[in-house]
Structure 1
Amino acid sequence: MARWNGVSEKNRNGKTSARQALQAQRERDKARAKRKRTLTVAGAVVVVLAAAAGISIAVADRDSGTKTGSGDSAGSVTAPRGAAGKDDLVIPVGAADAPSTLTVYEDFRCPACDEFEKTFTPTIHGLEDSGELRTEYHLVTLIDGNLGGDGSLNAGNAAACAQDEGKFRPYHDVLYDNQPDEQDDRFGDKKNLLTLAAKVPGLKNASFTACVDNGTHDAWVKKSNEAFDSAGFGSTPTVLLNGKNIYGSTALTPDSLKQMVQAANKGKKPGKVTPTAGPS
């Protein structure tokens, strides 16, 4: 679990570079979204011309059991244990009946996501542990798409495998504590992901190892990323409090986040909390 003792040495020295990384990432995401819109328009023109010319366009066989663009044509979508939300694409952390919900769209290779986690993790965990907040994580693979590689996908699958073992939160934090440089696809190596799992007590067992090696939740991670694209957010991290976007356009701090949650929860009863084990 990430620890917070004031502002860490890494944050002091890297504050400027982290902000630059966030800006650079947002610019790449905007460019990616623009390319996607251009391809969509071009595709629409091709379809119209083909129809006018009487050309038959092949479509996926609906009886094959695989939807076009579903992410993994080799198998069905397997959601991790306890997944929630629309299409079971949410990994929930915290009390199910907490009065406020924080929605977080993240990519484990994303440097801006790492900056967010390093800054806000202690506050978020404190609010979760007091029953004031439920966090709903959506896993995204933007960096794989922008830079190539499989680190976002493989780390997302491994995190979903940790969810199967009831240890998503501590493993999630370990991944960010050990995030490589954005250009370094170290998370693409499953052996590295398994080595990091040893930092979470009881996680690196036979079922977790098989889940990581087999990519059990790969199709689910891809489907989660498709849902993110469809939602039109365009960059990570995207953070919503009770449905309102609160990160990026406002000067959010750990203190202001806590104040916002407490204001939203005024007069409401905290949720029932289940203890969460942390990393070693």
Structure 2
Amino acid sequence: MSKSKQHEPRSDKPQAGGPQTPRAASASRREALRAQQAAEAQRARTRRIITAIAVVLAVVIVAVVVVVLVQNRQRQQEEQGLRAQQGQVTPPSANDAGNGLVFNNSTQNTGKPSVEVYLDFQCPGCAQASALIDPLLEQLADSGEIQLTYHMLHGLDRGFPGNHSYRAALAATCADVQGAFPVFSKAIFAAQPATEGDGWTDEQLRNTLAVQTGLSGEQLTAFQTCFDSRSTSDFVDAMQDLKPDYVTYTPFFAVNGNQWQPSNDALASADALLAALQAVA
């Protein structure tokens, strides 16, 4: 006869691994629901934060654009007022089209390749070109091999406050009135700030760089009067407004109206550069 296990305690609890009781299953469902609700709440908070950040960024961008537009508008009004007070001057090195400065009267180089250089004084690449390419081009112009014309644009002012490109072009054209354009242009590029858009102060343009260029006495006074009264502003605007549509960036080089991109081989010497220009012309 088998013995009953009367002395072992009786237990109504489910054994481990066994099926859950209805009460335990209900508790599990509540925990899962709470976890799902917490996750959805977290996602909702994240969406609200992202939306708030996007709104703030949009407001900041709009504010910056408005500030730039207002400053540019104020600059235009100031320039118009100065023009009304002072007569306009055409720089002596102006080309026939009235939209560029001819280097050292190289218009006399009849029948030679016509090289057009479009630059913006705030453009870092233009500063590099001023140091590496322009000296060779000017050497060829001096020797009668090419006709060289510089066009100083100020399109970058649309992206930065302070109309630095415009004022630098004014200073350069006023320097041409005093016969100092090539040297003054190089001085502006040499003083170009490391950060694009920082630009130059009026004191730098009308005094510091002018003195470095060699202007003094009556010449310096005449240059400063030209700059302060914006006497070449119509010519500066014409350089920007009359640029060809195919000029979409700076520095931009054209030979007889054809786009040209300098290569390392072409920059090896003046002779190599002349050969490259003649091939494009």
TM over 0.5: yes
In the alignment, structure 2 segments of 5+ residues that lack a partner are 1-75
Contact 1:132 1:265 in 2 (8 A): no
Match of 1:234 in 2: 248
Cα distance in 2 for residues equivalent to 1:191 and 1:264: 39
Match of 1:84 in 2: 95
Instruction: Look up the equivalent residue of 2:241 and give its one-letter code.
Output: E
Cα distance in 2 for residues equivalent to 1:252 and 1:140: 28
Instruction: Look up the equivalent residue of 1:224 and give its one-letter code.
Output: M
CA spacing shift, 1:265–1:196, aligned 2, 3 Å: same
Match of 1:206 in 2: 221
Give 1 or 2: higher helix fraction. Answer: 2
Comparing 120-129 with 152-161, which one deviates more in the overlay?
120-129
Cα distance in 2 for residues equivalent to 1:182 and 1:109: 9
Contact 2:121 2:188 in 1 (8 A): yes
Aligned with residue 195 of structure 1, among 208, 215, 221: 208
Aligned with residue 174 of structure 1, among 171, 174, 187: 187
Contact 1:72 1:219 in 2 (8 A): no
CA spacing shift, 1:179–1:77, aligned 2, 3 Å: same
SS in 2 for 1:115: helix
Match of 1:245 in 2: 259
1:222 aligns with 2:237: yes
In the alignment, structure 1 segments of 5+ residues that lack a partner are 1-68, 267-280
Cα distance in 1 for residues equivalent to 2:258 and 2:117: 11
Cα distance in 2 for residues equivalent to 1:240 and 1:168: 21
1:121 aligns with 2:134: yes
Cα distance in 2 for residues equivalent to 1:264 and 1:82: 23
Match of 2:37 in 1: none
Aligned with residue 149 of structure 1, among 162, 169, 177: 162
Larger Rg computed on CA atoms? 2
Give deviations 1:215-254, integer Å, cap 9, x for gaps: 22223212211222x5242111111122221127x66741
Give the number of equivalent residue pairs.
193
Instruction: Look up the equivalent residue of 1:90 and give its one-letter code.
Output: G
Contact 1:116 1:237 in 2 (8 A): yes
CA spacing shift, 1:261–1:253, aligned 2, 3 Å: closer
Instruction: Look up the equivalent residue of 1:85 and give its one-letter code.
Output: D
CA spacing shift, 1:251–1:262, aligned 2, 3 Å: closer
CA spacing shift, 1:186–1:128, aligned 2, 3 Å: same
CA spacing shift, 1:179–1:151, aligned 2, 3 Å: same
Give deviations 1:57-88, integer Å, cap 9, x for gaps: xxxxxxxxxxxx9x9644376422231131x1
1:161 aligns with 2:171: no
CA spacing shift, 1:243–1:258, aligned 2, 3 Å: farther
Cα distance in 1 for residues equivalent to 2:239 and 2:264: 28
Contact 2:255 2:277 in 1 (8 A): no
SS in 2 for 1:186: coil
CA spacing shift, 1:263–1:254, aligned 2, 3 Å: closer
Contact 2:154 2:166 in 1 (8 A): yes
Structure 1 residue 154, shift from structure 2 partner: 0.5
Q: Percent identity?
A: 23
Question: Could you tell me the TM-score, scaled by structure 2's length?
Answer: 0.61
SS in 1 for 2:183: helix
Cα distance in 2 for residues equivalent to 1:247 and 1:195: 34
Question: Could you tell me the TM-score, scaled by structure 1's length?
Answer: 0.61
